[in-house]
Amino acid sequence: MNYYDKNAAEYIDKTINCDMQSQYDLLSEFANDGSLLDVGFGSARDMLYFKSKGFDVYGIDPTKAFCDQAKRLEFKVEQSTIEEYRTNKKFDVIWACASLLHCKNINKAFLKCYDLLNSKGVLYVSLKLGKGEEIIDGRFFHYVTQEELNAIIKACGFMTLKETVTKDSLSNRDVSWINAVLRKS
């Protein structure tokens, strides 16, 4: 994640005020409290929101600068990828907003989320709509079609509660995202 180490301050400035209300509303239809793990929390924008709503918020991110920022905000965070994360804790909700797309083995990342959830726990995930993989500025991206995402969901044992396609929250990009709320079944 060298890109994020080099560009942490710029990334935080660019993303901290993105309007995520439609994504928050999507999750709130199915989960309103409990323990929440933010996977790849970046600017800590979403952790701040969920804390304000009463969630017991935890976070993991592989970027040291992001972890340092979140610790200054008094969040419980660990510097880790989802693949490397080890804990005995189970979560009621996992929020994986624009993070699992950086995983080279996306199925393994979904399975790890499944294992980290309590029985009937909820996973929110957003992934870039598209096909294939690429590396941009040293960052790995795995794009998915709706069909591929549905196959991953089924293979990992999740049940889809709701799925939407939205445009990017950053105004200068023509990017579509698949947003899915899934339940551990």
pLDDT of 15 over the 80 cut:
yes
CATH of 2-184, one of 1.10.287.3610, 1.10.287.90, 3.40.50.150, 3.30.70.980: 3.40.50.150
Backbone angles phi, psi at 61, to 5 degrees: -160, 140
31, two tokens = 């989960």
Instruction: Supply the angle between the helices 8-15 and 64-72 in degrees, to the nearest 10.
Output: 60
Instruction: Supply the angle between the helices 146-156 and 106-116 in degrees, to the nearest 10.
Output: 50
Name every residue whose Cβ is closer than 8 Å to that of residue 69 and which is 6 or more positions away in sequence: 8, 12, 43, 44
Q: What three-state secondary structure class fits 9?
A: helix
Domain boundaries, the chain: 2-184
Tens digit of pLDDT for each residue in 134-175? 999 888 999 999 999 999 999 999 999 999 998 866 556 678
When the pLDDT of each residue in the chain is averaged and rounded to a whole number, the result is 93
User: Do the Cβ atoms of 110 and 100 come closer than 8 Å?
Assistant: yes
pTM of this prediction exceeds 0.85: yes
Tens digit of pLDDT for each residue in 16-30? 888 899 999 999 999
Helical (H) or strand (E) element with 167: strand 158-167
Rg of the chain taking only CA atoms, in angstroms: 15
User: Do the Cβ atoms of 103 and 125 come closer than 8 Å?
Assistant: no
12, two tokens = 């935080």
Name every residue whose Cβ is closer than 8 Å to that of residue 88 and which is 6 or more positions away in sequence: none
